[in-house]
Structure 1
């Protein structure tokens, strides 16, 4: 969660690294709509969490309009304060995330993904998570660090660190030798 301006700039920098972008320029607004969306998401998080003054509250309300519009245009339902730094949305398309979900740093997420509530509880995902297209994650589960989730998997139970999971319902299909490797 962004707690101050330093965090805000850190989140922006990590998100750009996740998209393999070294420097932001005006052309990026048109060349990379998902990163533009993420930058607006991070700005909203900063104003919601850090700027409690009158001007900050007004600017937060003003920013909600373009954020809502971009959410509709790109097919995202991504609330504030869910993802840690290093978020990479691969491309636009249907992505629906519950407000209470918590995801660690360095998450790469693809389209047609739904992370939601099950029996009143929501998932907690660790760091370095790869979520392939079509994945459904729900319930009060915990996904460990360095986990890759295969396409169209339905995840309804917890999994440990350093694994690749896939299937309906999801199960471990392999263990990662190296914590940084992505098998999918």
Structure 2
């Protein structure tokens, strides 16, 4: 969770790395996903740290921008649901429930839904270094371990407790013992070592 300007800088830096960008700022034309992540992170900062009238004004401003970007890019990622190193791979209908918790260095592809199940307001807790493939649905109050890869169009409705594994199918079941790291930006792990 972003609780200071230093945290904001760290989150934005890790999001740049996770998005495979080789330049410091998004280009004026293009880089729309990174622009979305900047607005999301600034909204998180002002929501968590904004005090007084100025803080509330900035919070309202970034709330408006975030909603506008949600409609334009077909993303709905609620503030304070994703840790640093978030990568949204492509445009197209990404939904992250407001009660979901996503760990560091996770990559979400298009058409991903992380939501409730059977009318519940609870959502998934996803570990660090996970790759969520295109069309994946993660439903309900479940837990997913670190370094897990979930293949395209899988439906996950039960806990995944084995780290470093690959899952796929409907409902999702274990496919192999290969993890997600080969699908994530290597610079994220070079920084940690």
Contact (CA 8 Å) 2:130, 2:180: kept in 1 or not? no
Range 111-120 or range 11-20, more displaced: 111-120
Contact (CA 8 Å) 1:28, 1:36: kept in 2 or not? no
Secondary structure, aligned partner of 2:181? coil
Q: Within 5 Å, which residues of 2 pair with 1:9-88?
A: 9-25=9-25, 28-88=27-87
Secondary structure, aligned partner of 1:172? strand
The one-character-per-residue Cα deviations of 1:120-174 (angstroms, maximum 9, x if unpaired) are 2211000001011100001111000000000000000011211100000000000
Whether 1:171 and 2:168 are equivalent positions in the alignment is no
TM-score, normalised by the number of residues in structure 2: 0.89
Contact (CA 8 Å) 1:134, 1:152: kept in 2 or not? yes
The one-character-per-residue Cα deviations of 1:29-67 (angstroms, maximum 9, x if unpaired) are 422101100010000000000122220111110122221
Q: Higher relative contact order by CA 8 Å / sep ≥ 6: 1 or 2? A: 2
In structure 2, distance between residues paired with 1:106 and 1:7: 15
Q: Report what 1:158 is aligned to.
A: 159
Q: Report what 1:109 is aligned to.
A: 108
RMSD value, Cα = 1.6
Contact (CA 8 Å) 2:74, 2:92: kept in 1 or not? yes
Secondary structure, aligned partner of 1:77? strand
Range 112-121 or range 40-49, more displaced: 112-121
Unaligned runs of 5+ in 2: 185-193
Unaligned runs of 5+ in 1: none
Q: Report what 1:138 is aligned to.
A: 139
Q: Report what 2:88 is aligned to.
A: 89
Q: Report what 1:5 is aligned to.
A: 5
In the comparison of the two structures, how many residue pairs are matched?
A: 181
